[in-house]
Amino acid sequence: MNRLGIFILSLTLLLTITACSPQTISTMLPTETQPANLAPSETLAPSSMPVSTNTPSPAVTSTPVGGGAGQIVFYSNRDGGYNNIFILEIGSHDVIPLTQGQTNSFSGPFSPDGTRLLFTGFGLTHSYVGVMNADGSDPVNLTNQPDSDDAFPAWSSDGSQIAFTSRRDGNNEIYIMDPKGDHLKRLTSNPADDFAPSWSPDGKQIAFLSDRENATGIYSIYIMNADGSGVKRLTNDKGNDYTPSWSPDGNQIAFRSVQHGQSDIYRVQIDGSGMVNLTNNPAEDWSPAWSPDGNLIAFQSNRDGNWEIYLMKADGTESINLTNNPADDQLPYWKP
């Protein structure tokens, strides 16, 4: 299968995980939801550091998991055959639909001020990066490339730029643009796949996935400066890694990795030390997302038979199922 086919398949897989087994998905794409070839979800990457079981965990509040206020956006096929975007009210567990389209839409992160929401949409043959108001109104196609797949959007910390993955130059590379889709700049240029960017809280660095030093389709996490310079490898050869997510203090990255046959959520310091398996569950655990205060991590898991959105403390304890729906609920992002 060529890289374009892998990219499209991976993005579709991340978005339509319900149609495929987790193992099938993880072997077909480069993402954590592997990119369709830009799949908007996660990826796996090997780690060079041994997994530690005694690394100190960040402080966690005594607030019960799932309690209090807050919102999480996710995508689901709960309203029919298409994947649409929904908001989950954490306190009440109420679910509010944001899109009701006749094509697939996958959730992306909120803008830093919480007023807008990025997403990955699908046209007849290709995926695109879009933005809408936080209530689901006024969706706009930002990339508007009818002959390319674009996905995995991420806001800069000040909301002035959007990083994303595109195949417009032949393979998966990281680009940035402004919130109107203008002033496009390519950050990576490598014959391997570079995708799934995640901006650091201070806006100075971008984490991303690449198989540039591995066998094709085996991904590690890399970090580069926001201008594309200074690329360095964070994880190494312990697994296949996806969906890097920075902690709010910028000191750690949560990600999913396949290291022992199934995907688990891991946490690692930004210098590559102190890797910890947070979920350590025989089911598939994907797509970690930190709460704004850094005390909780949302993620998706099929441990109850289908994909659901779960919440756990940042040390991996006290996980609960937030969505509890027979449909597949996936790819959570927290509202600021």
Which residue matches tokens 């990457």? 45
**Tens digits of residue pLDDT in 81-139:** 899 999 999 989 899 999 998 899 999 999 999 999 999 999 888 999 999 999 999 99
- What is the DSSP secondary structure assignment for residue 272, as one 8-state letter? S
In angstroms, the CA 74 to CA 71 distance is: 10
Q: Give the chain's domains with CATH numbers.
A: 3-334 (2.120.10.30)
In angstroms, the CA 285 to CA 304 distance is: 11
Q: What is the per-residue pLDDT for 260?
A: 86
Mean pLDDT by 10 residues, the chain (336 residues): 40 36 28 39 29 32 55 94 95 93 94 98 93 97 94 98 97 97 97 97 98 95 98 91 98 96 96 96 97 97 97 96 96 97
**Tens digits of residue pLDDT in 269-294:** 999 999 999 999 999 999 999 999 99
Q: What is the per-residue pLDDT for 282?
A: 95
- b/e map 216-242, b = 16+ CB within 10 Å: ebbbbbbbbebebeebebbbbebbbbb
β-pairing, 150-155 with 162-166? Answer: antiparallel
